Structure 1
Amino acid sequence: MSHFHKILFFLGLIILASVSANAQTLTFEKANDNYSENFDVPVNIDSISFNRFQIKLSTSDPTLIINQVILNKKFSRGTLQFNSSGSTYTIDYSTENPITITKKEKIFDLKLNTTNRFSDENLIVLNESSFYNQSNLISVTHHIKPSTVNQFVFFKNDAIVFGLLMLSLGFVFYTESKKEGFWPKFYKYIPGLLMCYMIPAIFNSLGLISADVSQTYYIASRYLLPASLVLLTISIDLKAVFNLGWKALVMFFTGTIGIIIGGPIAILIISTFSPETVGGAGFDAVWRGLATLAGSWIGGGANQAAMLEIYGFNQELYGGMVLVDIVVANIWMAVLLLGIGKREKIDKWLKADNTAINALQEKVQTFSEKTIRIPSLTDFLMILAFAFVAVGIAHYGADVISTYLSNNFVAVSDPRSALSSFGSQFFWLISIATLIGILLSFTKAKNYEGAGASKIGSVFIYILVATIGMKMDLGKIFENPGLILIGLVWMTIHAAFLILIAKLIKAPYFFLAVGSQANVGGAASAPVVAAAFHPSLATVGALLAVFGYVVGTYGALLCAELMRIVSVG
């Protein structure tokens, strides 16, 4: 080959590479609803400048019907035509002046319906796509993401779902109250609280109900949880809480350190026999996804989102990490609840000193007995008034504070910032509700404990437990065994470290369980686990969980960097 031809050849490669680099991608995203016959498929395109496009497509199944195309309002000055001919659909759009998109942006939504069920399948078949800038044809690639739609859920009405959850709770409490026969033997080994959690999980796994369809968890966590914290804190002896001492904080930080070191150790262990499970390159690297788990398991949702932003894990693979988070965290919570039924034996093995915990429980119990009375309708209404007025104040305060901080402080508004948790409404909701409960404990409102304030708070907690259980799909444990195994090894290391330190400092099982759940479960479940020991202890779980939000991103960053090191090494 002559020098001239070589030059032409390399110039051709450069031009080809340039064209490839500038080729835009038309992306058909996942359907926005997994459980409905009617759903939308968003269609996005990344940075491009165009004034006309024509897209011809069809569906992968005759039962999939495209009914309408909803154009992004940004492009409303142009003209859209949508036509169908048999199983082929044509979308034509044109405008006089070119439209410039500088980043990935939605151009329209496809509105579809179907009578069949599809699980992780491509719903759209792209036959042809042409984008033009004036008369110039623009090279556009395409990507179609598989979707799950119209999945079976027998009961979608929240009134029915709530009825089933209450039926579950009623069944557990009724059978647990039996003194003879099979049930006393059963509950000797299986705590009632665990059953309140597992029965809804079984319902969800069988397709009777689904947390993805129901709003009951949101209602329970945003309304009943803060209300319960107020009622369970209203008679608290704050001095007695502080007298619980340093062991509570030590076990909390032990849980944090267990998560930080557990991630990299889990990667090292799994890599010895399944290196591909912990592999991946670039933004697909598994350690990047596991960093989001660290954020969730030390802090909460805001910390998890921060890690996703910071490390840029491929969002198409992110669902697998969410699955690990849900499955492993829920399995661990079930183990902790199981341990509550054996806490006396565990404390004996740990040689734990329960003096401070017992003193707190006795103070609350004594106060309750001293103020006990047959509650009147006025008492119940006043208790609910205290609870839900506080919830209203907490929501208002959370909205104002989180909005103000997000609008005025870049460190809070930036999802990659370690301080992004302070922009979370849920963080402030739990903090303010707990604070209101503590303030009420210094007033005569604490006398409503004698009318059953903590019992009503406990009812709210158990409803929350049932809705948390509804999020657990037992069948998903086997969907991604490699990632689930990483999570289980990771959580085992976390647990082992907690047990070791608890044994060394003779910390009660209460501190172990709540210290762990304040990290792994966060504010939604730490008070649940704490209240399972005694309603008066719910405040401890809430306070530690709030603290977890603060340290969550810092701990997760350290964990992520350690995982990066062992993955590269």
Structure 2
Amino acid sequence: MNESTALITNDAVVLGLLAIILGGVFWTQQSSHPFFRRFYTFVPALLLCYFLPSLLNTFNIIDGSESRLYFVASRYLLPACLVLLTLSIDLPAVARLGNKAVIMFFTGTFGIIVGGPLALLVVGAISPETVGGDGPDAVWRGMTTIAGSWIGGGANQAAMKEVFDVGNNLFGQMIAVDVLCASVWLAILLFFAGRAKAIDAKTGADTTAIEDLQRRIEAYHAQHARIPRLADLMFLAAIGFGVTAVAHFGADTLAPWIAANAPGLDRFSLTSGFFWLVVIATTGGLLLSFTPARKLEGAGASTVGSAFLYILVASIGMQMDITAVLSNPGLFAVGMIWIGFHAILLLIVGKLIKAPFFYLAVGSQANVGGAASAPVVASAFHPSLAPVGVLLAVLGYGVGTYGAWLCGQILRVIAAG
């Protein structure tokens, strides 16, 4: 191997730099300074967590391709993150949100699964070179990472990157498409949130259930929230990394067995050890959500999982070259068609079932924005409703792996012609 020419090659130093960058982003995001408050109104913090580490790689301060940090984060922290994020899913509580809330959530999910292939077909018919590419640089592969992000979130996006072997430069382009299109749609939802009462009155939507929902959510969080103890954090580590160990064992067993006995399943990613790693980890978290372990959410299970996620995000960012982001601007058309289909489908279904606009907005952002923006949209209606966004977003973490993988298989078939 050729010796790296980067200024810093020690992974311990690189990890420290990434930690400082993440700390700086979150410190400024929480700042009350007018400049930062206005800055983060337009620039998502998540984008900076990708973008700033990419500068280190672009200017050869570090060599992301030679670092082992991404391998550690993707194989150890990502599965544990998926477990801790799905651990808090309360499926009965989701059901009690009402049929309309759940219908709107899964309508949004369906819109992402189908909208991606539709966008690929439309743009492919007009400009085939825009959605071409081979191997890890095939555009359809990159689109699976957007599907992961728009159904589940950053963890599912990173999982799809590995499962479908997406090239780093293409992944950087897809992040730009993801953030731009999702931010435009978020701005539209926030604009209409202030006009929700007029919209609901016009559509004849019944909003009384939202008031009951508001009181129920407030009572639940008041009952379970607590300051985490050392024992709680050790329990979280035991569960997160324990299920990760089971997932690795299962992946190491299943992937080689399928490769040896049914090699044709390779095109469905079933011979990929990483595929089984994320599926088993996600399934393990979902199963644990039916046990008393779910109460550890009160001690910060999803917070710890999110911390793992942001370390993963930074380690992905440090592999990207930002000069490649705008090499294919036509991809933004793909993203806008995709999110447009998602929006139109939600509006149609919402009108048919007379769902309150609140359910449409939060159901959409629980998919597209995840836990980062779904609470923001929910709180735009009423601050105490923010946990509803969190609840549905956590459901998105659970279905994101499966939904994005299904979308990827459809994209694969379309790309193959």
TM-score range, shorter chain: 0.7 to 0.9
**Separation in 2 of the partners of 1:452 and 1:302?**
28
The alignment partner of 2:270 has SS state of helix
Equivalent in 269, 283, 290 of residue 126 of structure 2: 269
Question: What secondary structure sits across from 1:225 in the alignment?
Answer: helix
Q: 1:348 to 1:335 in 2, by over 3 A?
A: farther
2:413 alignment partner in structure 1? 557
Residues 553 and 359 of structure 1: CA distance in aligned 2, closer, same or farther (over 3 Å): farther
Letter in 1 for 2:109: F
Pairing partner for 1:207 from 41, 51, 60: 60
Shift in CA distance, 471/504, structure 1 to aligned 2, threshold 3 Å: farther
- Kept in 2, the 8 Å contact 1:178–1:184? The answer is yes
Q: For residues 354 and 344 of structure 1, what CA distance do their matches in structure 2 show?
A: 21
1:160-179 alignment runs, 5 A limit? 160-179=13-32
Could you give the per-residue CA deviations for residues 380-411 of structure 1, whole angstroms, max 9, x where no partner exists? 21221111111111111122222222222233
Letter in 1 for 2:126: I
Deviations, residues 72-123 of structure 1 (Å, cap 9, x unaligned):
xxxxxxxxxxxxxxxxxxxxxxxxxxxxxxxxxxxxxxxxxxxxxxxxxxxx
Moved more, 357-366 or 541-550: 357-366
Which segment drifts farther, 293-302 or 207-216?
Answer: 293-302
Structure 2: which amino acid aligns with 1:398?
A: A
Distance change in 2, residues 1:161/1:221 (3 Å): same
Write the letter of the residue equivalent to 1:201: S
Matches within 5 A, 1:25-424: 36-37=2-3, 152-241=5-94, 244-270=101-127, 286=132, 292-298=138-144, 300=160, 304=164, 322=167, 325-335=170-180, 338=183, 342=187, 344-345=190-191, 366-412=219-265, 415=266, 417=267, 420-424=268-272
Aligned counterparts of 2:113 and 2:394: Cα–Cα separation in 1: 20
Aligned mates of 1:426, 1:295 — CA distance in 2: 15
Contact kept? 1:430, 1:542, Cα under 8 Å: no
Is 1:375–1:451's contact at 8 Å kept on the other side of the alignment?
yes
SS at match of 1:245: helix
Q: TM-score with structure 2 length normalisation?
A: 0.74
Q: Which has the larger radius of gyration?
A: 1
Q: Which amino acid aligns with 2:283?
A: L
Distance in 2 of aligned mates of 1:464 and 1:263: 28
Question: Could you give the per-residue CA deviations for residues 395-449 of structure 1, whole angstroms, max 9, x where no partner exists?
Answer: 111222222222222332xx3x4xx322222222222222222222222222322
CA distance in 2, matches of 1:500, 1:258: 10
Q: Distance in 2 between matches of 1:393 and 1:550?
A: 24
Cα displacement (A) at 1:474:
1.5
| 1:455 pairs with one of 266, 285, 303 | 303
SS of match in other structure, 2:64? coil
Aligned residue identity for 2:228: P
- How far apart are the structure 1 equivalents of 2:215 and 2:277? 29
Distance 1:454 1:360, change over 3 A: farther
TM-superposed CA distance for 1:371, in Å, is: 2.7
How many angstroms apart in 1 are the aligned matches of 2:259 and 2:212? 42
Q: CA deviation at 1:344?
A: 2.7
Pair 1:295–1:473, CA change in 2 (3 A): closer
Q: Which has the higher mean CA deviation after the structures are superposed, 241-250 or 177-186?
A: 241-250
SS in 2 for 1:472: coil
Q: Letter of the aligned partner of 1:439 in structure 2?
A: L
SS in 2 for 1:183: helix
- In the alignment, the residues of structure 2 paired with residue 291 and residue 176 of structure 1 have an alpha-carbon distance, to the nearest angstrom, of 34
Say which SS state the counterpart of residue 485 (structure 1) adopts: coil
Moved more, 432-441 or 334-343: 334-343
- Aligned partner of 2:274 in structure 1 is 426
SS of 2:72's partner is helix
- Which residue identity lines up with residue 191 of structure 2 in the other structure? K
State the Cα distance separating 1:379 from its structure 2 match: 2.0
When normalised by structure 1's length, the TM-score is 0.56
Q: Deviations over 1:115-161 (max 9, x none)?
A: xxxxxxxxxxxxxxxxxxxxxxxxxxxxxxxxxxx5x4222222111
Structure with the higher strand share, 1 or 2: 1
Question: Which residue of 333, 353, 358 maps to 1:489?
Answer: 333
* More contact order relative to length (CA 8 Å, sep ≥ 6): 2
Work out the number of aligned pairs and report it.
371
- Give the gaps of 5 or more residues in structure 2: 148-159, 351-358, 378-388
Take 1:395 and 1:529, find their aligned partners in 2: how far apart are those partners? 31
- Which one has a larger percent helix, Structure 1 or Structure 2? 2
| Counterpart residue number, 1:442 | 290
Which letter maps to 1:411?
A: G
- The residue identity in structure 2 corresponding to 1:329 is M
Task: Tell me if structure 1 keeps the 8 A contact 2:113–2:403.
Answer: no
